[in-house]
């Protein structure tokens, strides 16, 4: 059976070239980068090369890049590390109600510690209005954290404008760029970003490695205490193969970004247009244009998401109902609820996230298979009978 992977927002396959770059760092260059001998120094050179590659990709200086274990650590580190470092200045944090749980949960945690959190609502397309962010600012605001693009509905946020507002008021601005690094151009200077999180496995790199960009001069308490690694900002022995892989993944993504964006945008639109044309009572979630080149999020009325996923899986197609991190939860997605979808539509949503290996044939196959699955489920659905017949 044909197997088609359309869940690249959950994770991507590690590119063979990335893996190839990593392999020597398991078996040959295995030294600890903190060691003074040649074994260690060779490994240190490798991580510094990766740091340079990542920094130059986003317009940062190498010393502004901290390697972490992934997006969740980077987000936790940013939100909590800044909150605690700036506690004397204020206790107010602004974020949005469509952030990933790796931002929302640290914020909830801080709320219990006496911080105040404002979650900015989004419009029906899932976009944060910078004016709303500005209105929410108080004298106590110390941090604004708004994601670069949403992981479920793919909307790109106007973070450049939000960053400008934050900078004008002396408030730190963090962005969760887990879905965008390597997929969209990022320049931290143009975007007025002070702190940025990203993860290796979302851009055909390995799992278990991420970065945190922290602009020079930004105060942040470390999350991990221990050795002197990462300028004492993140203790723990470096994940050398992972960091090397991250560097290689960023290098490849940067080289191929232009043509990837073009290819994915074409395939994305083909999938969206095809579904909307072939399946009655379906709608696109998120902004039609201001969205990630690889994200398709569709609600299909009168059928439930998991049943569609299972049926698609039986046909060899892998996609998701929303975020992989919440797929065991019974609650409808907080993002779909935030854009005002009624519960029954939120429960009937599918996210297809395209990747480097996705082909036109793959999209044609999905478009050939999905309508039949939907009709089968609708024939079983008590909701379809009532509203349509």
Partner 1 sequence: MEYSEKVMEHFRNPRNVGEIENPDGVGKVGNPVCGDIMELYIKVDGGIITDAKFKTFGCGAAIATSSMVTELVKNKTIEDALKISNRAVAEALGGLPPIKMHCSVLAEEALKRALDDYRMRSAKVASGKAA
Which of 71, 242, 332, 371 is in the footprint of partner 1 by CB under 8 A?
A: 332
Give the number of C-alpha atoms closer than 13 A to the C-alpha of residue 338, restricted to the C-beta side. Answer: 22
Distance CA 248, CA 252 (A): 6
Q: Which stretch binds partner 1 (CB under 8 A): 28-36, 55-63, 81-89, 305-313?
A: 305-313
Total residues contacting partner 1 by CB under 8 A comes to: 23
Where are the strands (E) in 91-209, listed by range? 92-96, 116-120, 141-145, 172-176, 195-199
Distance CA 311, CA 307 (A): 6
The binding track of 350-379 with respect to partner 1, each residue x by CB under 8 A or -, is -----------------------------x
CB of 39 to partner 1, least distance (A): 44
Distance CA 376, CA 202 (A): 34
CB of 351 to partner 1, least distance (A): 16
Among residues 57, 107, 119, 325, the one annotated as catalytic is 325
Helix, coil or strand: residue 31: coil
H-run or E-run covering 57: helix 38-58
CB of 243 to partner 1, least distance (A): 33
314 binds partner 1 (CB under 8 A): yes
**Residues comprising the chain, all counted:** 389
Q: Which stretch binds partner 1 (CB under 8 A): 30-38, 191-199, 229-237, 381-389?
A: 381-389
Enumerate helices (H) and strands (E) in the chain, giving the number of each: 14, 12
Measure CA 59 to chain center: 19
Residue 319 appears among annotated catalytic residues: no
245 binds partner 1 (CB under 8 A): no
Both tokens of 292, joined, read 């990630």
Residue (101 or 356) nearer to partner 1, CB: 101
Both tokens of 182, joined, read 């390597």
Residue (264 or 374) nearer to partner 1, CB: 374
Residue (21 or 335) nearer to partner 1, CB: 335
The binding track of 38-77 with respect to partner 1, each residue x by CB under 8 A or -, is ----------------------------------------
Q: What are the phi and psi torsion angles at 274 (to 5°)?
A: -65, -45
Please give the residue ranges that form the binding site for partner 1 (CB under 8 A): 302-307, 310, 314, 327-328, 330, 332, 342-344, 347, 379-385
Residues with a known catalytic role: 325
């Amino acid at each position: 059976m044909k197997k088609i992977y359309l869940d690249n927002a959950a994770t991507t396959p590690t590119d063979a070239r990335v893996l190839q770059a990593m392999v020597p760092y398991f078996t040959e260059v295995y030294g600890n980068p903190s060691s003074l001998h040649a074994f260690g120094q060779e490994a240190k050179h490798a991580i510094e090369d990766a740091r340079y590659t990542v920094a130059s990709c986003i317009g940062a200086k190498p010393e502004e890049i901290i390697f972490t274990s992934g997006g969740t650590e980077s987000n936790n580190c940013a939100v909590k590390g800044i909150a605690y470092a700036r506690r004397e200045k204020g206790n107010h944090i602004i974020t949005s109600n469509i952030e990933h749980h790796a931002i929302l949960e640290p914020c909830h945690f801080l709320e219990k510690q006496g911080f105040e959190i404002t979650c900015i609502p989004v419009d029906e397309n899932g976009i944060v209005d910078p004016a709303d962010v500005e209105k929410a600012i108080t004298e106590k605001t110390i941090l604004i954290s708004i994601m670069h693009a949403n992981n479920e509905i793919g909307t790109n946020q106007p973070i450049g404008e939000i960053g400008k507002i934050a900078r004008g008021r002396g408030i730190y601005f963090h962005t969760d760029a887990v879905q965008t690094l390597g997929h969209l151009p990022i320049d931290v200077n143009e975007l007025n970003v002070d702190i940025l999180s990203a993860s290796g496995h979302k851009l055909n790199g390995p799992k278990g490695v991420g970065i945190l960009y922290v602009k020079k001069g930004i105060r942040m308490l470390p999350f991990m205490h221990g050795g002197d690694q990462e300028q004492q900002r993140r203790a723990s022995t470096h994940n050398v193969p992972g960091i090397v892989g991250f560097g290689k993944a960023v290098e490849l993504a940067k080289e191929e970004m232009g043509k990837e964006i073009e290819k994915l945008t074409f395939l994305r639109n083909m999938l969206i247009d095809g579904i909307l044309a072939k399946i009655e009572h379906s709608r696109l979630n998120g902004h039609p244009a201001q969205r990630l080149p690889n994200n398709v999020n569709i609600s299909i009325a009168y059928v439930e998401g998991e049943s569609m996923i299972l049926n698609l899986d039986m046909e060899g197609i892998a996609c998701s109902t929303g975020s992989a991190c919440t797929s065991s939860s019974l609650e409808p997605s907080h993002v779909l609820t935030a854009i005002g979808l009624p519960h029954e539509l939120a429960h009937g949503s599918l996210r297809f996230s395209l990747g480097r290996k996705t082909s036109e044939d793959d999209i044609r196959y999905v478009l050939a298979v999905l309508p039949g699955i939907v009709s089968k489920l609708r024939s079983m659905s008590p909701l379809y009978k009532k509203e349509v017949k």
